[in-house]
Amino acid sequence: MDKLTVIKIGGNVIDDPAALKRFLTAFAGLSTARLLVHGGGKIATQVAEKLGIPTTMVEGRRITDQPMLEVVTMVYGGLVNKQIVAQLQSLEVNAIGMTGADAGTVLARKRPVKDIDYGMVGDIEDVDSGQIQFFLRQSLTPVFAPITYNSAGDLLNTNADTMASAIAVDMAHHNEVTLIYCFEKKGVLKDPADDNSVINELTPALYADYKAAGTINKGMIPKLDNAFKALENGVSRVIICHADEVTEAVRQGAGTTLKK
C-alpha cells in the first residue's frame, strides 16, 4: 500500500508570509505522496470588514450567512488557495487548487439548527477518495480550501480540521495515511504559556484526563476530537506539531503523536 501524507496547515501560519514560505518549502521537499488542506486565517475577517460585512464568532466558530459565505469562498477558495498553489508551483510541486465542490470530492450537508444557527456551514457526508486518488496518480498535489458543497448545489463553509480528518479517513482505503496537523505551537501543550511543555504521546485515556483537569481546552478540543476520530477509522498515524517541524514529523515523528 502506497504511503500518503495528509497535512492541514492552520490559519496563523497562513497569516505570516515568512512562516508560510518555510512550511511550503518543507512540504515541497517531502518524498511521499502528499496533499494539503488549509484554513483561511484572518484574511476573510479583514476582507469582510472592508466590505462592511459584520463577522460573528461563537466559541471560535464563524457564523456564515450568505454575505459571509461569499467572502470566505472568495478568500479561502480564491485568494489564499491560489497563493499557496502559486508558491508550490515555484517550488516545482505541480499543485492543483480545489474546494470540495471540485470534481465532487467532498460532499456535505448544511448543519442543522440546534442551539446555534451557524448558517451556511457544512458537515461532511462523503469524500470521493477515488477521485482524489486519480489526481495523485497524475502526479498532481491537491490543495484543498475548506469549502464544500451539498446535493442542492450550495457551497458551504467547512471546518478545515474536520475536512482534513475526513479526507485522511477515506484515503486510508487506498493508502497508508499519516495525518499531520501543523500550526504555530510545538504540539499539544501542558502549559499554553510554555512552548516546551509538549505532551509527546496522547492516548484517549490521557486525553480524557487532561480535558477533565482543564489542561486541554478551548480550540484544541475539536482539533483532537477530529484527530482521534481519524486514528480510530483507519489512519495509521496522527501527529500535531509546529509547521517548522513537518519534515521531522513525517520522518520520525515530532510534536504530539496520538496513540490508540
**pLDDT digits over 206-223, tens only?**
999 988 888 888 778 888
Domains (range + CATH), the chain? 3-41+70-98+137-147+160-258 (3.40.1160.10)
The yes-or-no verdict on residue 154 having pLDDT over 90 is yes
Q: What is the pLDDT of residue 221?
A: 86
- Work out the angle at residue 250's Cα, subtended by the Cα atoms of residues 248 and 251, and round it to the nearest 5 degrees: 65
- Mode of pairing for the β-strands spanning 176-183 and 155-157: unpaired
C-alpha cell at 245: 517541524
Q: What is the pLDDT of residue 159?
A: 93
pLDDT, one tens digit per residue, over 15-58 is 999 999 999 999 999 998 999 999 987 899 999 999 999 998 88
pLDDT, one tens digit per residue, over 192-204 is 888 889 999 999 9
The yes-or-no verdict on residue 65 having pLDDT over 80 is yes
The yes-or-no verdict on residue 136 having pLDDT over 80 is yes
Q: What is the pLDDT of residue 206?
A: 92
Q: What is the pLDDT of residue 226?
A: 86
- Is 88 within 8 Å of 141 (Cβ atoms)? yes
Distance CA(168)–CA(187), nearest Å, equals: 20
Average pLDDT for the chain: 93
Tell me which of 88 and 252 has the higher pLDDT: 88
Give the three-class secondary structure for 172: coil
Distance CA(183)–CA(89), nearest Å, equals: 22
What average pLDDT does the segment 57-74 reach? 90
Alpha helix segments (H runs only) across 160-203? 160-171
Q: What is the pLDDT of residue 170?
A: 97
The yes-or-no verdict on residue 156 having pLDDT over 80 is yes
* Neighbour-count burial of 15, counting CB atoms closer than 10 A to its CB (0-12 exposed, 13-18 middle, 19+ buried): middle
pTM for the whole structure: 0.94
- Ligand-binding annotation for 62, yes or no, is yes
pLDDT band at 94 (very low <50, low <70, confident <90, very high): very high
Most distant CA pair in the chain, distance:
50
Phi-psi region of 41 (alpha: psi -120 to 50; beta: other; left: phi over 0): left
- Ligand-binding annotation for 40, yes or no, is yes
Distance CA(142)–CA(68), nearest Å, equals: 25
- Ligand-binding annotation for 187, yes or no, is no
Q: What is the pLDDT of residue 82?
A: 98
Q: What is the pLDDT of residue 1?
A: 62
* Neighbour-count burial of 20, counting CB atoms closer than 10 A to its CB (0-12 exposed, 13-18 middle, 19+ buried): buried
Q: What is the pLDDT of residue 19?
A: 95
